[in-house]
A and B are shown apart, each in its own frame.
Chain A
Amino acid sequence: MANENKSVWTSISFWRRSAGWVTGFATILLIWLTFDTLGQIRMGTDEELKEAVAQQKEINRVPAPTVINYHINYKMDEKRGHEVPVIGKKELFFGKEWNPQEAAELLHLGKLTSQAKNCMNCHTLLGNGAYYAPDLTKAWLDKAWQKGGPLQAMTGKNTVEEAMAEFLQHPSQYPTHARMMPDLGITADEAKGLVAFLKHMSSIDTNGFPRNFSKTVEQFKTGGTNAH
């Protein structure tokens, strides 16, 4: 034939083999990444948490549910270039210390409630959800909920957990910002669970997400959002 095709670019087998290689490589890469992520997001045990607190260093990215028995703070890590949660001394949560089973059950109730009430419809949790309402990933560390903060003062309670639980049960009674939270019929037990869920979430090392979370309160006060 005079017009014989000799170009590799128009050869079907070249594209077939290339597509096979790229698809195969991507498949293996995704499976590898899945297992790599599983190791990263594994929840730690109570023993690992005690060890981490005693040695003042982080072992797991996601601590055990019993982390609700500890004071959680954050600090700017210059080396990593972002804020990291710090698990400090023991503190009572709703007036008691929770054993591993109780803590796990409370956290589970909180997670189920957050799903049933569809928090993500407005809020963001660990990067998932909406930016209509404040990002809740580090809500526990929000200065406005601490002693002397405007949100705690507004509920008339003396601890962060009681103030948050009170607000969650009657959100539409409290003026927060322009986008007020509606009453979702959250019960007292569910509110406790949700607060435990939020406290645990704040202790997760999220590689600095949301960026500069200590500043988000001021941002919302001035009418801004996290959407940037």
Chain B
Amino acid sequence: MLFEQFTDVVPSFFGWLNQGPMTLTLFLHTLIILPMIWIYYDEKKKLEGKK
């Protein structure tokens, strides 16, 4: 299961995020990749504007 009941002793945001094997990885990669997609299209617009 991707989401399971939180069973850690000390409640923590990262503890909650790391309950499954892939959840933390997927979350962090999404957070890093999404702005890069925005940066890509922004740069593309700039390059086309220069033309």
Q: Name A residues whose Cβ lies closer than 8 Å to a Cβ of B.
A: 4, 6, 8, 11, 13-14, 17-18, 21-22, 25, 29, 33, 36, 39-40, 58, 60-61, 77, 79-80, 205, 207
Contact = CB atoms under 8 A, between A and B. Distances in A.
A18 B39 contact: yes
Given A25-B31, A36-B12, A4 B51 contact: yes
Contact of B47 (A6, A22, A36): A6
Contacts of A14: 39-40, 43
A58 B8 CA distance: 10
Contacts of A21: 32, 35-36, 39
A122 B39 CA distance: 49
Given A14-B43, A17-B43, A39 B48 contact: no
B13 A36 contact: yes
A124 B34 CA distance: 40
Contact of A22 (B9, B15, B32): B32
B8 A207 contact: yes
B40 A36 contact: no
Contacts of B43: 8, 11, 13-14, 17
B28 interface: yes
Contacts of A6: 47-48, 51
Given A4-B51, A36-B13, 5 more contacts: A13-B46, A18-B39, A25-B31, A40-B12, A79-B7
A33 B14 contact: yes
Contact of A8 (B7, B28, B47): B47
Contacts of B8: 80, 207
A77 B9 CA distance: 12
Contacts of A77: 7
A39 B7 contact: no
A6 B32 CA distance: 25
Contacts of B15: 40
A36 B14 contact: yes
Contact of A18 (B7, B36, B46): B36
Nearest to B40: A8
B1 interface: no
A4 B51 CA distance: 9
Contact of A80 (B7, B14, B46): B7
Contacts of B5: 79
Contacts of A60: 9-10
Nearest to A33: B14
Nearest first, the 5 A-B pairs at minimum CB distance are: A14-B43, A80-B7, A8-B43, A8-B44, A40-B10
